[in-house]
């Protein structure tokens, strides 16, 4: 018989659910047996497992204030990201080699002879691996470093560090066959990490102090150089204060401007009087003398003018009494001529004096104008020097500010380094818990039953798949494609 005509039909037909139920019913004994065996093996293995206990310590991590010369305070989302990074960093540092070595040293785990590995399966696999390595190559004594690395790995396998959500807390869990040992290791790990953190902070503070001391020395040297250069410039230019120098020059210029205006006004007034006197001419006319008296303030001229008026009045009276060349008239006329001559002389003296005063005022005006020009030049020169002066002054101020900042930060860092306080604290110490976390007997037995049931079902369907016998008319028609001519019944035994 050939099966090729029917193979393609096999893949296209759907299997009835009843057939699955028939398979399960047919092999129910096998399924039950496998389930019982697997469950029994799981129960036996679970009961033979060494109980594993867990102890946990809780630490809180406060915000750390870093003594830096310049700070960078981030808020909002940036602060949240920074906190996430900080917790991840602490979680990694908790299981770092220096911390684990500190725990091993404190608990003297390198002197413990018993097996520190937890988990029966892991210990079994490790033993088998060691035996296989002995079969294929010679036994080699591990070096002390290899032994220490293996011990560190074993201790790390016991430790789990988890973050408590929405808090600043970290949970340090340790699993071990001995609940007391698990509690001791959890507490030792928390304390070792606090010591490690303090040592790092102290080293960081010392490095920061060394750096800031070096920077302070450099800044102090630069400050001294800037001050010396600034002082040399002020001595060279004799400019000790730009504001004071500019104020002094401004005040002087204002004073000389006022003096210049006053001198110029006096000169112009004097020139106007001289011009008017030149226009008037001689002093023979009484009207001219009156005008001259209004221009010249002189007591002698006023006195002579009064004497001249009195003499002329006396001559007018005598002329009414005496006639001709009377001695009395001659005497009065001689007095008038003498008085007029003296008056004319005094006026000429006053004119010469006014001309001399005009020359003095003109010379004074020129000197004042030249002095104002010198002050203006000095002011311009001071403005030119002001740029370099300001640059040197700003350099001194900048170096002084940097010096003050570094000095204050150095003192702050020194105080912080002397305060032996960590931002990490143990909020809850680990205690020994006598109820094991492994094995979970009920869960393991339940999983054994489920796995055994699935394995039995799988084995039943495997046997059914491997069974090639034809049992019904439908099987003959389905797989052979031939009609059934007759059926031979199964005869019972007599």
Phi-psi sector, 119: left (phi>0), alpha (psi -120 to 50), beta: left
Indicate if 376 and 491 belong to the same structural domain.
no
Confidence of residue 337 (pLDDT cuts 50, 70, 90): confident
Q: How far is residue 484 from each of residues 473, 480, 481, 488, measured CA to CA in Å?
A: 7, 10, 10, 11
Indicate if 491 and 444 belong to the same structural domain.
yes
Beta bridge partners of 159: 174
Indicate if 257 and 292 belong to the same structural domain.
yes
Would you say residue 53 has pLDDT above 80?
A: yes
What is the percent of the chain with per-residue pLDDT over 70, rounded to a whole number?
A: 79
Mean pLDDT of the chain: 78
Kindly report which listed range (48-52, 238-242, 423-427) carries the lowest average pLDDT score. Answer: 238-242
Indicate if 362 and 472 belong to the same structural domain.
no
Report the alpha-carbon distance of residue 462 to residue 455 in Å, rounded.
10
Indicate if 380 and 469 belong to the same structural domain.
no
Indicate if 303 and 377 belong to the same structural domain.
yes
Q: Rounded mean pLDDT of 25-31?
A: 87
pLDDT on residue 78: 46
The answer to whether position 282 is within a domain reads: yes
User: Would you say 481 and 8 are in contact if contact means Cβ atoms under 8 Å apart?
Assistant: no
Indicate if 255 and 387 belong to the same structural domain.
yes
Indicate if 273 and 403 belong to the same structural domain.
yes
Q: Higher confidence at residue 306 or residue 432?
A: 432
User: Would you say 422 and 61 are in contact if contact means Cβ atoms under 8 Å apart?
Assistant: no
Indicate if 364 and 409 belong to the same structural domain.
yes
Indicate if 290 and 357 belong to the same structural domain.
yes
Indicate if 369 and 299 belong to the same structural domain.
yes
Give the global pTM: 0.54
pLDDT on residue 419: 59
Domain range for residue 3?
1-49+439-494
Report the alpha-carbon distance of residue 155 to residue 416 in Å, rounded.
34
Report the domain count for the chain.
Answer: 2
The answer to whether position 218 is within a domain reads: no
The answer to whether position 6 is within a domain reads: yes
DSSP string across 228-271? HHHHHHHHHHT-S-HHHHHHHHHHHHHHHHHHHHHHHHHHHHHH
pLDDT on residue 77: 42
């Amino acid at each position: 018989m050939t099966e090729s005509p029917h193979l393609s039909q096999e893949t296209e037909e759907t299997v009835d659910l009843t057939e699955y139920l028939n398979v399960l019913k047919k092999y129910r004994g096998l399924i039950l047996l496998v389930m019982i065996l697997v469950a029994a093996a799981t129960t036996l293995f679970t009961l033979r497992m060494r109980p594993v206990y867990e102890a946990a310590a809780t630490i809180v991590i406060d915000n750390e204030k870093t003594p830096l010369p310049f700070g960078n305070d981030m808020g909002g989302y940036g602060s949240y990201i920074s906190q996430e990074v900080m917790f991840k960093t602490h979680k990694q540092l908790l299981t770092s080699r220096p911390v684990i070595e500190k725990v091993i040293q404190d608990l003297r785990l390198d002197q413990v002879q018993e097996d520190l590995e937890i988990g029966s399966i892991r210990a079994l696999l490790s033993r088998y691996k060691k035996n296989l390595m002995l079969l294929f190559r010679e036994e080699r004594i591990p070096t002390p470093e290899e032994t220490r690395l293996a011990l560190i790995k074993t201790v790390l396998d016991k430790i789990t560090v988890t973050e408590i959500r929405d808090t600043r807390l970290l949970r340090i869990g340790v699993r071990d066959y001995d609940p007391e040992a698990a509690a001791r290791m959890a507490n030792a790990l928390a304390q070792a990490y606090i010591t490690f953190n303090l040592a790092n902070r102290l080293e960081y503070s010392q490095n920061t102090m060394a750096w800031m001391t070096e920077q302070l020395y450099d800044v102090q040297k630069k400050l001294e150089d800037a001050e010396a250069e600034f002082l040399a410039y002020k001595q060279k230019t004799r400019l000790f204060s730009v504001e004071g120098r500019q104020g002094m020059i401004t005040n002087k210029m204002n004073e000389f401007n006022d003096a210049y205006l006053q001198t110029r006004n006096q000169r112009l007034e004097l020139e106007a009087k001289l011009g008017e006197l030149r226009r008037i001419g001689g002093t023979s006319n009484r009207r001219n003398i009156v005008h001259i008296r209004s221009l010249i303030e002189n007591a002698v001229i006023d006195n002579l003018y009064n004497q001249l008026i009195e003499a002329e009045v006396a001559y007018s009276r005598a002329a009414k009494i005496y006639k001709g060349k009377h001695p009395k008239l001659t005497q009065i006329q001689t007095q008038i001529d003498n008085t007029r001559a003296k008056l004319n002389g005094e006026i000429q003296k006053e004119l010469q004096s006014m001309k001399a005063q005009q020359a003095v005022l003109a010379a004074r005006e020129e000197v004042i104008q030249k002095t104002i020009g010198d002050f203006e030049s000095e002011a311009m020169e001071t403005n030119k020097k002001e740029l370099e002066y300001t640059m040197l002054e700003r350099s001194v101020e900048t170096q002084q500010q940097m010096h003050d900042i570094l000095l204050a930060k150095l003192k702050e860092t020194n105080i912080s380094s002397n305060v032996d306080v960590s931002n990490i604290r143990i909020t809850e110490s680990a205690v020994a818990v006598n109820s094991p976390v492994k094995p979970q007997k009920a869960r393991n037995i339940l999983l054994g039953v489920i796995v055994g049931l699935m394995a039995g079902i799988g084995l039943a369907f495997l046997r059914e798949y491997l069974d090639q016998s034809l049992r019904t008319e439908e099987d003959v028609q389905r797989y052979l494609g031939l009609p059934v001519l007759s059926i031979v019944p199964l005869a019972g035994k007599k």
